[in-house]
Amino acid sequence: MAAPVSSVGKPSAERSPFNNTSFQKKTRSKLISIPGTRPSVQNGQLLVSTGVTSLDYLLGGGLAVGTVLLIEEDRYDSYSRMILKYFLAEGVVCRHELYVAAAQDNPDDILQELPAPILDDVAMHKPAEQPRLSCEPPDGLDAMKIAWRYQNLPKVQTALASSSRFGHYYDVSKTMEPEIRQAAKCHRFYLPEHPTQSSPPHSTMLESYSALLKSLQEVINREGFDVAAPMSNSRNILRIGLHSLGSALWGDDLCCHDNPKNGRALTTFLYGLRALLRSSLSVAVVTLPSHLIQDRALMGSITRLCDNAIALESFKGSERETNPLYKDYHGLIHVRQVPHLNCLASKLPDHKDLAFKLKRKQFSIERLHLPPDLSDTVSRVSRGELAGATTVASACGSGSSGNKHLDF
């Protein structure tokens, strides 16, 4: 006798507790919905934008919440400071809360220099070119031919960009309006105005770092950024910007001596900072004058304590500033470390030769490639240097023979 139709659709749990199978209905996990964030397509981690779209692409889509980005400063701290301001400006536009700490400049001065957002997105995207009809005569430039072996080569894509839009664009030639800047809640830590207490005798952390870590912990617990806090519909992200840690203004001697006395103070602080971020809805950007640190082993330990690490090498004041190879760029960017979050292997950048340039209104990171006319330029420069070297050598040779004649 067949079973009734009404009993066929009943769950197996009502029939018998021992007939449960391993097949379960797949349900999507509930992700935290916070403005200015999106989940990563690689590991499901919640991401925020750095404010620089090309840097987001380089880091795998953005900065993961609960991680630290280390920026090794250039020699004049101009471009690293600019990336920090991009990061804070993106937080203002997304209505995230900010935490700015510095020992040299007042955090209010840093906030007043934030770039202005570009609200007209139409101007940022060029319209696609229309296909040319076969009956239309070709233009003068289109009619030009190149060598046959280069015709089928793909064009070099220098820009780093993803197909999906994330983050905003900013105009570095203008500063953000005070009304927009004051709408965001900001917490400040200015070391000269902040009282520091004496550290325990056996503590490896400096007083300045202890006060900074304590202030961060108080803000995270008081403002509800702790993950253990009760869930609410108004959860937000805390963006932390720490400027020029490790410098002498923080009381650290990493940049002053080959064998610093407080060599483990910064690493101890980074341990505590990363522990705070792992259990909170926070993300941090730390700048560090690495070119002043002589101990390379210690610098390696500092890099490994951060999740992301990049280094900026500016051409300003160096020989590369006049090198024709780098005439279109202002410096190089090196990826030191990428995060390993919820995965066995992280996604490495597809291109290692990267350079950055500051346009009239924008800071961008591109793939470094040789310009088309480099060979002619280099050959002309090489011939000029060779001719100059030959002239100098002949002059030195005649001078040396004249000296020999006098000595003889």
Report if residue 166 sits inside a domain. Answer: yes
Cα–Cα distances (Å) from 15 to 6, 8, 9, in that order, read 13, 10, 11
Q: What is the pLDDT of residues 30-48, one digit of tens each?
A: 556 899 999 988 888 899 9
Report if residue 14 sits inside a domain. Answer: no
pLDDT of residue 198: 56
CATH number of the domain to which 302 belongs = 3.40.50.300
Q: d(Cα 356, Cα 329) in Å, to the nearest integer?
A: 6
Report if residue 225 sits inside a domain. Answer: yes
pLDDT of residue 401: 45
Report if residue 339 sits inside a domain. Answer: yes
Q: How many CB atoms lie within 10 A of CB 82?
A: 21
> For the chain, how many structural domains are there in total?
1
Residue with tokens 């009239």: 360
Q: What is the pLDDT of residues 256-306, one digit of tens each?
A: 887 788 888 999 999 999 999 999 999 999 999 999 998 889 999 999 999
Report if residue 395 sits inside a domain. Answer: no
Report if residue 71 sits inside a domain. Answer: yes
Report if residue 86 sits inside a domain. Answer: yes
Average of per-residue pLDDT values in the chain: 79
Closest CA to 365 of 163, 119, 83, 125: 83
End-to-end CA distance of the chain: 129
Q: Which domain does 79 fall in, by range? A: 37-119+157-367
Query: What are φ and ψ of residue 123, in 5° steps?
Result: -75, -15
Assign residue 117 a region: left if phi > 0, alpha if psi is -120 to 50, beta otherwise?
beta
Q: d(Cα 218, Cα 10) in Å, to the nearest integer?
A: 53
Cα angle value 10/12/17 (rounded, 5°): 140
pLDDT per 10-residue tile (average), the chain, 408 residues: 46 48 56 84 89 91 95 94 96 96 95 89 41 46 52 58 77 94 95 72 78 96 89 86 95 84 90 95 97 91 95 91 88 91 72 87 85 53 49 49 43
